[in-house]
Every structure is written in C-alpha cells, then in structure tokens.
Amino acid sequence: MEITIRQSLPSDFESIRHVVAQAFRDVEMSNQDEYVLVGRLRTSDAYVPELSIVAENETGQIVGHILLSRISIVDGAKAEESLAMAPVSVLPNHQNQGIGSRLVRAALDRAKELGYGSVIVLGHPGFYPRFGFRKASEWGIRPPFDVPDNAFMALELQEGAFKQAGGVVRYPEPFNESAIESM
Ligand SMILES: CC(C)(COP(=O)(O)OP(=O)(O)OC[C@H]1O[C@@H](n2cnc3c(N)ncnc32)[C@H](O)[C@@H]1OP(=O)(O)O)[C@@H](O)C(=O)NCCC(=O)NCCS
C-alpha cells in the first residue's frame, strides 16, 4: 500500500478526528478523548500547522496522524521552548505496517527544519527509543504529573539543546483539560 506523509489541511480535520478516535478506541490507558485534545490544540497558541502531519493512502483516505505542539521546560524564572509529541494515531487496521514510525520520523525532521531544539513524549517505552528518545530524567527534565520514569522521554533535535534545560514541563491549557495520563 502506498502511503503519503504530508502536512494536514483544513479539509482533513474531520478525518483526523475519526483516525484519532479510532486509534485510541481500545487503548486501556486512555479516556478516549484524545480527538478532543487535538481539536483544542488546533485553536490554541501551542499549535504549529506544519507539525500536524497525516498519512494518506492511495485512495485519499487519512489513516494516520501526528501532532507536535509547543510547550516549555520551566526552571524558576527560566523557560526553554520545546515540543510535545501527542497524540500519535494510526487506524487499528493499519497498525504495525510502519505508518506510525514514518509519521514520527517525518514530524521530527520537520521540527528540526523549523529550528526547534527538542521534543518531549509521554508514551510507550518500547516504541519511542528507536527514534532516539531517552528518559527525560537523564537531563533533569520532569513531568508535571506522576508517570513512570521510563515513559516520560525526550530527544534533542539540535545537539546540546538540553545542556541547560532541566526543569518541569509546562503543557498548554488543552492538555490540562484532557486526559493527559493517556498520552
Ligand atoms: C502506537 C502507534 C501510533 C504505532 O503506529 P504503528 O503504525 O502501528 O507503528 P509501526 O508499524 O511504525 O511500528 C510498530 C511498532 O510499534 C509497537 N507498538 C505499537 N503499539 C504499541 C504499544 N501500545 N506499546 C508498545 N509498542 C507498541 C509495535 O510493537 C511495533 O514494534 P516492533 O517494530 O518492535 O514490532 C499505533 O499503534 C496506534 O495508533 N496505537 C493506538 C494509539 C496509541 O497508543 N498511540 C500512542 C500513544 S503513546
């Protein structure tokens, strides 16, 4: 199956909602409201249109989506800009075919091109290290909530981005209204 990875368009928004809802439908660690989060992020200051990316099959169906949004890592009066990768969604009948990995790689490449220095993800420790993510605690970067240490991960897009970046991640408002523990 031929899959195209590209930036999302306003005409994709309904399909994205469907893909996100379906992807998380049977995920236990989820409140199944990730599609609401995506909609809220899209109308927030944290939204970066270039970092809302879809996977489209040859019939024009959207089968996957990824979103990176602006966050900051705060240490006292100091705040470093970064990105949160959340959520990553692939339609259940299209999973395990490499689509999620292509979305992650495309999003990281694009974020780097745009000049962002780093990315934070809360997710499966079995999935994200293959893209270079490591435990955020290695750099003294902490989540604002209680999660297993190995599920909260970070990646430097620019070498040395985390040299002075220790602190607590501050998520934009839409995350606080949503089931953040499911990301
Ligand atoms: C996670 C997800 C985006 C991966 O997309 P995908 O297209 O299936 O991924 P790929 O085919 O590129 O890679 C598959 C790998 O991801 C792993 N993976 C998929 N879901 C996983 C999960 N819930 N926990 C751990 N690893 C998982 C597979 O085991 C496989 O690993 P392998 O290559 O070592 O065999 C997709 O499965 C999905 O949408 N899941 C439901 C929503 C979700 O949990 N999103 C991520 C939140 S952190």
For the chain, the structural domain boundaries read: 3-182
Which 8-state DSSP code applies to residue 64?
A: E
- Which ligand 1 atom sits nearest the alpha carbon of residue 123? 48
| Average pLDDT score, the chain | 95
Q: 26: Cβ–Cβ under 8 A, 6 or more apart, which residues?
A: 92
pLDDT digit string, tens, across residues 69-80: 999 999 999 999
Q: How far is the CA of 27 from the centre of ligand 1 (A)?
A: 11
Q: List all residues whose CB is within 6 A of at least one atom of ligand 1.
A: 23-24, 27, 87-90, 95-101, 123-124, 126-127
C-beta neighbour count of 20 within 10 angstroms: 26
CATH superfamily of 3-182: Gcn5-related N-acetyltransferase (GNAT) (3.40.630.30)
Mutate to test the pocket of ligand 1, among 96, 99, 131 (most ligand atoms within 8 A of CB): 96
- Alpha-helical regions (H) of 55-164: 99-113
pLDDT digits (tens, 9 = 90+) for 78-90: 999 999 999 999 9
Determine the pLDDT at residue 178.
64
**Predicted local confidence at residue 4, as pLDDT:** 98
Express each pLDDT in 53-73 by its tens digit: 999 999 999 999 999 999 999
What local confidence, expressed as pLDDT, does residue 179 receive?
Answer: 52
Does the pLDDT of residue 160 top 50, yes or no?
A: yes
pTM summary value:
0.95
Exposed e or buried b for every residue in 118-152, given b needs 16+ CB within 10 A? bbbbbbeeeebeebebebbeebebbbeeeeeeebb
Q: Determine phi and psi for 7, rounding to 5 degrees.
A: -65, 145
Above pLDDT 70, what percent of the chain? 97
Q: How far is CA 34 from CA 65, 127, 152, 157, in A?
A: 12, 19, 18, 26
